[in-house]
């Protein structure tokens, strides 16, 4: 098995690739990557193969260092690389039955490569070090040494990230994921996918080097905010302004929906600001249930009043005047606490 700078975490200094220190913060790594990505992007360097290779290299580095778990695993691998290496040579483990050298073994398992979605660079998910070392230990020993004969290994998982609009997340959409290594796959997102949710596509990861099952593609979804609607589980929330007379006398108003067509909602007379009206079945539709549209009423107070309007408000105040203080109960509770 051949290990080189293109195929092994041992031989790649991702911090040096991005030009940051090993203690660099996530924000510093992100800013540096964006600057370099713009500089070496193929669109800005047409026909420049060196720039394209550099773009792939910084994409691979960022894919690992931007992921907390992968960064920790990478740091562990690099720390291990700082010690003594064992290769399949004279007097090495390979003499005990043709087993791969320690360096070759890890080089093959932690080879590079990354996948990009339409929005963010990504990277391979390396196998768990603890499980790997446990499998190599024990009575069986290393592969081909002492009789240990592992079955075909599953291919590695690949992680990816994509960003959906609010509507795409609620209604479902098809996303095309592509990468500089030629990787392409179309993914149909579930209806009602949530921000931060991970979608696993079975068998869409790296191929097994030993004839086993391919790995999976794990896509993390980021959902953009909507200028009008907010999601509350399977319900959608919207704030709707109403005039004073509509709230006081009652009215029937039009309320927008995510589907596009507005619905008519009855505002009962005497509705205060802050009351929530529920419209059944106008929320997020999932296989389990369909949510509702929650309409938060916000009474709008005019900033300027004409003479007639001012007189009308003053007449209203005089007509509804009473000795009861609307804030009296609030003040009493505050004193009692």
pLDDT digits (tens, 9 = 90+) for 165-186: 999 999 999 998 876 566 788 8
pLDDT at 144: 40
Give residue 3's pLDDT band: very low, low, confident or very high (50, 70, 90).
very low
Name every residue whose Cβ is closer than 8 Å to that of residue 122 and which is 6 or more positions away in sequence: 63, 114, 115, 116, 158, 159, 160, 161, 179
Q: Which long-range contacts (CB under 8 A, 24 or more apart) does 47-55 make?
A: 52/180, 55/180
Summarised one tens digit per residue, pLDDT across range 109-155 is 333 333 334 434 444 444 443 343 344 444 333 344 444 445 688 88
Please check the confidence at residue 106 and state whether its pLDDT lies above 50. Answer: no
- Helices 68-81 and 49-65: angle between axes, nearest 10 degrees: 100
pLDDT at 81: 58
Would the pTM of this model clear 0.95, i.e. be above it?
no
Q: Averaged over 64-75, what is the pLDDT?
A: 85
Which has the higher per-residue pLDDT, 205 or 19?
A: 19
Summarised one tens digit per residue, pLDDT across range 76-86 is 777 765 543 43
pLDDT at 182: 67
Tokens encoding 110 = 């932690």
Structural domains of the chain ordered from first start: 1-115+128-150 (1.10.287.110), 152-225 (2.60.260.20), 230-322 (2.60.260.20)
At CA 10, angle to CA 7 and CA 12, rounded to 5? 70
pLDDT at 223: 94
Which has the higher per-residue pLDDT, 227 or 110?
A: 227
Is the CB of residue 296 less than 8 Å from the CB of residue 228? no
């Amino acid at each position: 098995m051949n290990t080189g700078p293109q195929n092994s975490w041992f031989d790649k200094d991702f911090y040096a690739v991005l030009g940051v220190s090993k203690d660099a913060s996530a924000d510093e790594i992100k800013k540096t990557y964006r600057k370099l990505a713009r500089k070496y992007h193929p669109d800005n360097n047409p026909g420049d193969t060196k720039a394209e290779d550099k773009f792939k290299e910084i994409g691979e580095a960022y894919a690992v260092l931007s992921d907390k778990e992968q960064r920790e695993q990478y740091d562990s691998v690099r720390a291990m690389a700082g010690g003594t290496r064992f290769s399949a040579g004279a007097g090495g483990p390979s003499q005990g039955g043709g087993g791969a050298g320690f360096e070759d073994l890890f080089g093959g398992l932690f080879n590079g490569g990354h996948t990009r979605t339409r929005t963010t660079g990504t990277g391979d998910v390396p196998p768990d070090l603890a499980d790997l070392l446990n499998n190599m230990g024990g009575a069986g020993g290393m592969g081909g040494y002492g009789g240990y004969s592992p079955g075909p290994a599953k291919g590695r998982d690949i992680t990816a990230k994509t960003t959906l609009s609010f509507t795409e997340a609620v209604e479902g959409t098809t996303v095309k994921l592509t990468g500089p290594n030629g990787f392409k796959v179309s993914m149909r997102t579930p209806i009602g996918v949530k921000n931060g949710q991970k979608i696993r596509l079975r068998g869409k990861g790296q191929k097994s080097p030993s004839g086993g099952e391919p790995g999976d593609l794990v896509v993390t979804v980021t959902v953009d905010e909507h200028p009008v609607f907010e999601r509350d589980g399977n319900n959608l929330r919207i704030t709707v302004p109403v005039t004073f007379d509509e709230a006081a006398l009652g009215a029937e108003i039009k309320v927008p929906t995510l589907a596009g067509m507005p619905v008519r909602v009855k505002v009962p007379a005497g509705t205060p600001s802050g009351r929530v009206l529920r419209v059944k079945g106008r929320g997020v539709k999932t296989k389990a249930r369909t949510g509702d549209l929650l309409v938060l009423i916000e009474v709008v107070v005019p900033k300027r009043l004409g003479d007639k309007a001012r007189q009308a408000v003053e007449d209203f105040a005089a007509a509804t005047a009473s000795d009861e203080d609307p804030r009296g109960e609030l003040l009493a509770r505050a004193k009692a606490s």
